């Protein structure tokens, strides 16, 4: 993929695509390329980046075909920095994010080991306490 294709994909990429919006912009080659890439991803379980969990932030992405075949995020921990296969549990996380100026929220499934699950729980508690400080009631 050339650099310009990568940049175009980054501009048109969406974590969860909207079919109606895609139809409106279908004449754009960037939209068609991003939609094709999105269809190739496996969206049952997500991969989570917990490198900034202490700051109350995490990143999520869908798994690639190679990761699905290797069992990453399903038979091993979904955390990017962890490959543990012991004590895995499934979680459904409400993932709030901003994309192209729109605020979005999706429910995402993640499999995590005990250690990473505690980081996810801490992350959720941090976000809830921040919300209470902003909106005390």
The pLDDT tens digits for 9-41 are 777 767 777 777 777 776 778 878 887 777 777
Is residue 88 located within the same domain as residue 133? yes
Start-to-end C-alpha separation, the chain: 51
Is residue 56 located within the same domain as residue 70? yes
pLDDT at site 44: 86
Q: Looking at the whole model, is its pTM more than 0.75?
A: no
Is residue 54 located within the same domain as residue 118? yes
Is residue 27 located within the same domain as residue 72? no
Is residue 26 located within the same domain as residue 74? no
pLDDT at site 46: 92
The total number of structural domains in the chain stands at 2
Is residue 33 located within the same domain as residue 64? no
d(C-alpha 137, C-alpha 121), whole Å: 23
Query: Are 112 and 46 within 8 A, CB to CB?
Result: no
pLDDT at site 2: 45
Mean local confidence (pLDDT), 125-129: 56
Question: What is the tens place of the pLDDT at every residue in 50-108?
Answer: 999 988 888 889 898 899 999 999 999 999 999 999 999 999 988 888 877 888 888 88
Is residue 30 located within the same domain as residue 46? no
Tokens representing 90 are 């499934």
Domain range for 24: 1-40
pLDDT at site 7: 80
Q: In the 8-state DSSP scheme, what is residue 80?
A: T
């Amino acid at each position: 993929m050339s650099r310009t294709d990568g940049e175009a994909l980054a501009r048109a990429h969406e974590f969860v695509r909207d079919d109606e919006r895609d139809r409106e912009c279908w004449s754009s080659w960037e939209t068609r390329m991003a939609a094709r890439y999105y269809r190739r991803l496996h969206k049952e379980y997500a991969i989570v980046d917990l490198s900034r969990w202490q700051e109350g932030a995490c990143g999520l992405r869908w798994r690639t075909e190679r990761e699905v075949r290797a069992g990453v995020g399903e038979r091993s921990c979904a955390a990017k920095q962890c490959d543990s296969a012991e004590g895995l549990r499934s979680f459904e996380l409400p993932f709030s994010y901003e994309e192209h100026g729109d605020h979005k929220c999706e429910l995402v499934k993640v499999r995590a080991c005990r250690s990473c699950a505690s980081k996810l729980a801490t992350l959720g508690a941090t976000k809830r306490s921040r919300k209470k400080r902003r909106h005390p009631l």
